[in-house]
Amino acid sequence: MLKIDRGISQGIIVFALLLLASGIFFACEQKPQQMEETTTQQATPAPEMQEPMAPAEEPQAQAPQDEPIKIGAIFAITGRAAWLGEPEARTAEMIIEKVNGQGGINGRVIELIVKDTQGAEDRAVNAVRDLFREDVVAIIGPSRSGTSMAVADMCEEQQMPLISCAALAQITEGRKWVFKTPQKDSDVVIRIYEYMRDHGMTRVALITGTTGFGAGGREKLKEMAPEYGLEVVADETYGPGDTDMTPHLTRIRGTNPQAIVNWSIIPGQSIVMKNMKELGMSDIQIFQSHGFGNYGYLKAAGDAAEGVLFPAGRALVVDDLPADHPQKEVLSKLKQDYETRYDEPLSTFAGHAYDALWLVLDAIENVGADRAAIRDYIENRKGFVGTGGVFNFSPEDHTGLDKDSLEMLTVRNGKFAIPGGE
């Protein structure tokens, strides 16, 4: 069962009914304002996604057993960050159809209530407030780091499990009820800087967006550079609506860097690479963050993306993984299901939603539809094979992944690839 709220309000319908009995009187009725577009779809069976866990003790029932279990989801389905949120929403929809098609979880239907934040903090806050009133047992999302930070403390105060699909390490720091599925930005920085160190690079220039994601990455890049013998020779920033980074790159070129790290989301990721090509800066190696893991971004950059390096999860190169890789089965099945259904390439962002939703469903199956039990179960979950890696959560680590969950990738002949492969 799927509810999608796109923030569209219908008009208030007022009608009057004239009745005659012993006298004449009026009765007026007003229909409530409609805030949700509800879609109920025929489900199809799904393959088993995770190894079954040992049955837990009888779960604490929060509602009659014939009522659906409600899970909230907040994604940037429209707006500038839709390339993140749209595949996330599609993946969640696909999973819920399959789960309900095989009888739900413990015999109960799962109702996913999806809210579109349009990538905006205020909309995310309002969406979470709405989901609190819906009495959901957990929330997955948001898509962006900024929107995740905007709602994290709300969920903490309401003791609502939140599994963010954004990367900023600070999203979970110091919080008991908040988790996330993308790799930490600090681990991405480690993989980039290890590569630079191993290839004799010592001078790096930074160009980052001013969103929450960009600002968080910039902080880690500056903080960790000395550990790897790197000198930050330039530090440029740009806004999410900027369309020309030529002035920034001209200043960077004057500092004679060996490498440039661009840390942002669309459109900045693609614009920087296109501007570099126009300026003839092919002698400087360009690195991107893990936020580049989407074929839509690659298409926007065109041939300017050739040779870029960036760490990311393995969803983009699943066909290149050996048959015995622990993620091969999960990634191959998701890729087949997603690309068959939506006729578009699988992205790492789809994977973030996959991991977040399955963590919640796995918890419900084993401990029931109780918020506190779900939180406790996820915090202690070990060996959960997802698209981002093999998750091992703990009270100290609400991401559950380390740098080994990241593969250094490149673009070769217009496709994502592992460097050195053919």
- Predicted confidence at residue 379, as pLDDT, reads 98
- Predicted confidence at residue 7, as pLDDT, reads 52
User: Which CATH number do you get for residue 305?
Assistant: 3.40.50.2300
Does residue 317 sit within a domain?
no
307 and 360 co-located in one domain: no
Does residue 29 sit within a domain?
yes
29 and 68 co-located in one domain: yes
What tokens does 86 get?
């749209």
Burial class (CB in 10 A: 0-12, 13-18, 19+), 33: exposed
146 and 285 co-located in one domain: no
118 and 266 co-located in one domain: no
103 and 54 co-located in one domain: yes
- Predicted confidence at residue 265, as pLDDT, reads 79
Q: Rg (Cα) of the chain, in Å, rounded?
A: 23
Torsion, Cα 142 146 148 152, to 10 degrees, reads -160
CA atoms within 13 A on the CB side of 6: 13
State CA 51 to chain mean position distance.
23
- Predicted confidence at residue 420, as pLDDT, reads 80
- Which of 254, 281, 312 lies at the terminal end of a domain, its last residue? 312
Does residue 421 sit within a domain?
no
Q: Reduced to 3 states, what is the DSSP secondary structure of residue 288?
A: strand
Please confirm whether the linkage preceding 64 is cis (ω < 30° from 0): no
251 and 343 co-located in one domain: no
Best CA proximity match to 184, nearest among 409, 398, 419: 398
CA-CA distance, 398 to 169, in Å (whole number)? 10
302 and 374 co-located in one domain: no
Q: What are phi and psi of 211, to 5 degrees?
A: -70, 175
**Number of domains observed in the structure of the chain:** 2
How many residues are given for the chain? 422
- Predicted confidence at residue 283, as pLDDT, reads 96
Q: How far is CA 354 from CA 31, 57, 370, in A?
A: 37, 26, 21
- Predicted confidence at residue 421, as pLDDT, reads 57
CA-CA distance, 252 to 246, in Å (whole number)? 10
CA-CA distance, 360 to 102, in Å (whole number)? 17
388 and 306 co-located in one domain: no
Strands 162-164, 139-140: parallel, antiparallel or unpaired by DSSP?
parallel
159 and 285 co-located in one domain: no
Does residue 414 sit within a domain?
no
Instruction: Give the domain extent around 79.
Output: 2-183+331-404
CA-CA distance, 88 to 354, in Å (whole number)? 8
Does residue 73 sit within a domain?
yes
161 and 85 co-located in one domain: yes
- Predicted confidence at residue 64, as pLDDT, reads 60
**Tens of each residue's pLDDT in the chain, 422 residues:** 777 765 533 333 333 333 333 343 333 333 333 333 333 333 333 334 443 333 333 444 445 667 999 999 999 999 989 999 999 999 999 999 999 999 999 999 999 999 999 999 999 999 999 999 999 999 999 999 999 999 999 999 999 999 999 999 999 999 999 999 999 999 999 999 999 999 999 999 999 999 889 999 999 999 999 999 999 999 999 998 899 999 999 999 999 999 999 999 768 889 999 999 999 999 999 999 998 988 888 999 999 999 999 999 999 999 999 999 999 999 999 999 999 999 999 999 999 999 999 999 999 999 999 999 999 999 999 999 999 999 999 999 999 999 999 999 999 999 999 998 55
- Which of 312, 345, 364 lies at the terminal end of a domain, its last residue? 312
Does residue 80 sit within a domain?
yes
Q: What is the rounded end-to-end Cα distance, in angstroms, of the chain?
A: 43
Task: 374-377: list long-range contacts, CB under 8 Å, 24+ apart.
Answer: 374/137, 374/138, 374/161, 375/159, 375/161, 375/176, 375/177, 377/56
CA-CA distance, 273 to 286, in Å (whole number)? 8
Does residue 410 sit within a domain?
no
Does residue 323 sit within a domain?
no
95 and 175 co-located in one domain: yes
Best CA proximity match to 77, nearest among 16, 20, 144: 144
- Predicted confidence at residue 63, as pLDDT, reads 54
161 and 191 co-located in one domain: no
